[in-house]
Amino acid sequence: MAANEKLLQDDVTAKIDSKYFRSLIGSLIFLTNSRSDILYSVSIISRFMENPNKLHLTAAKRILRYLQGIKNHGILYKQQDENRLIGYFDSDWAGSYNDRKSTSGYVFCLETIIIS
């Protein structure tokens, strides 16, 4: 997603086919099992599955273009002698303009390897 992009539920742009949008978001949610780098963006746009508009579809297509551009990238995991668990957590306390809900996220690493 674009930096600091705030998507609104009730926007003036044209409405789109919600069945197509739900299918696209469902596919992106499935991809988050192996691609944790898109997890935040997918969680934001999945809030608009019931009544999507053109801006929401544009944000979803931006994620698809990102995935197309990095499809040859990967993560190399190497065996290490010591394993130290490190965790990070962050949230944006009432960051949604629509319902004032918070978004939080976490990452856990085993030494330098992201595991969750």
Six token digits for residue 18 = 């919600």
Crossing angle between the packed helical segments 18-31 and 54-69, to the nearest 10 degrees: 30
Q: Are 87 and 104 in contact (CB under 8 A)?
A: no
Q: Residue 75: which pLDDT band, with cuts at 50, 70 and 90?
A: low
Question: pLDDT value at position 3?
Answer: 64
For residues 68 and 3, which has the higher predicted lDDT (pLDDT)? 68
For residues 66 and 94, which has the higher predicted lDDT (pLDDT)? 66
For residues 97 and 59, which has the higher predicted lDDT (pLDDT)? 59
Model confidence at 87: pLDDT above 70: yes
